[in-house]
Amino acid sequence: MPVQDRNISPATIKVLRPRLPAAASLLPYLERIDSSRTYSNYGPLNGEFARRLGELVGGSHVTLTSNGTTAIELALRLRCQQGGHCLMPAFTFIASAHAVCNAGLTPYLLETDPNSLALTPEIAAAALNAVPGPVAAVLVVSAFGAPPDFAAWAAFEQQHGIPVVFDAAAALTSLSGIGRQPVCVSLHATKTLGIGEGGAIFCADRELMERATAMTGFGFVGQERQSSLRAGNYRISEYSAAVGLAGLDGLPKRIQEMRELTAAYARRLEGKAVHLQRGVGTDWVTMTLNVIVPAADVAATTQRLDDAKVEWRRWWGLGCHRHSAFKDVPMSNLSVTDTLAPCVVGLPFHDDLSPDDLDRVADCLQ
């Protein structure tokens, strides 16, 4: 390692550098597409990709979708009528709110638990009487890929009779025990398994998932070219499935590397006031690794990161209510979110980071 010349400032450390399967690893799948001359419409690679994704999450029916946002839209459309309110956390990526609106529902924004960074059944139940109209659904969001509490939300649905859908956009590799409540994931380039643009819905309810798949292709059920459901086009191409299959081939190695990188961060953060999410790097992995910084030190921390030329990002911004397109939707008091959101700071996380880079990031965190 050359001695750093003090007159040359170090290169910026990027917050994210996605790496999807290289062309060479796509080639065998692309050659299968050339042979089949099927390029979309639930072709053979789509079928194989869906099957392998179902196995990855421990056995589930699967519907592939054009992206994670449309996965949520379809799942909500399947589970409730248009026109009501959908409870959802204010602290989530803004795609969640767009999906709720595109499903014909009005978001009602709620607080999140500051420990799990997630909406809880208790928060949702406490809000039911405050919502100005019927509650059609709850959209539960996985915090940056953390496994959702399926059992607690199944109990909530049973108790209150309100359908639950999971926005588990970043949680594909954290899922197990999927039940009859649809679980939506993203396969965007920034996720653990990225295909460029894509998504999936998982659910144990076979009949519901057959309708979900029909809704991705104009409501045609089976081989019929008869629209029997209001729907649209939310399919992925065989090319997208090819990227997914190559990605699955390399996924175990990739997850291991993500665990190791997270552990390398965790060692450097020991004894500091900042902390990572519970279980990250051991129980589950994420490409959007965050530190939760004490509120009093947020401004100084982000200043130190900027000064050290370390890119950082608030992946979910300051909450949906801070986006002008959603500032007028109904919401609960969001003082917890307003305090919490600035403290959640995304750190550089990719396979170009050297030990020196990690030291440089960690030195900014107290």
Q: Work out which of 228, 282, 333, 339 binds its own copies, going by CB under 8 A.
A: 228
Minimum Å distance from CB 207 to its own copies? Answer: 18
How many amino acids of this chain bind its own copies (CB under 8 A)? 61
- Asked if 181 contacts 163 with a C-beta cutoff of 8 angstroms, the reply is yes
Question: With respect to its own copies, which residue has the nearer C-beta, 68 or 281?
Answer: 68
Take residue 337 and report the two structure tokens written for it: 């979110």
Return the closest-CA partner of residue 200 out of 213, 212, 185, 214: 185
Instruction: Count other Cβ atoms within 10 Å, centred on residue 190.
Output: 14
Q: Work out which of 88, 236, 261, 361 binds its own copies, going by CB under 8 A.
A: 236
Q: Work out which of 61, 79, 85, 98 binds its own copies, going by CB under 8 A.
A: 98
C-alpha–C-alpha distance, residues 244 and 198, integer Å: 9
Region of 171-179, 221-229, 337-345, 355-363 interacting with its own copies (CB under 8 A):
221-229
First to last CA, the chain: 27
Q: Work out which of 10, 22, 128, 363 binds its own copies, going by CB under 8 A.
A: 22
Cβ-Cβ contacts under 8 Å for 187 (sequence gap 6 or more): 67, 68, 172, 193, 194, 195, 196, 197, 198, 199, 200, 244
- Asked if 64 contacts 200 with a C-beta cutoff of 8 angstroms, the reply is yes
> Residue 282: exposed, middle, or buried by beta-carbon count in 10 A (0-12, 13-18, 19+)?
exposed
Minimum Å distance from CB 345 to its own copies? Answer: 15
Minimum Å distance from CB 28 to its own copies? Answer: 9
Q: Work out which of 1, 8, 11, 37 binds its own copies, going by CB under 8 A.
A: 37
Place of tokens 């401004």: 299
Question: With respect to its own copies, which residue has the nearer C-beta, 120 or 142?
Answer: 142
Question: With respect to its own copies, which residue has the nearer C-beta, 17 or 180?
Answer: 17
44 binds its own copies (CB under 8 A): no
What is the contact surface with its own copies in residues (CB under 8 A)? 17-20, 22-23, 26-27, 30-31, 33-34, 37-41, 66-70, 73, 94-95, 97-99, 101-102, 188-189, 194-198, 218-219, 225-240, 243, 317, 323-326
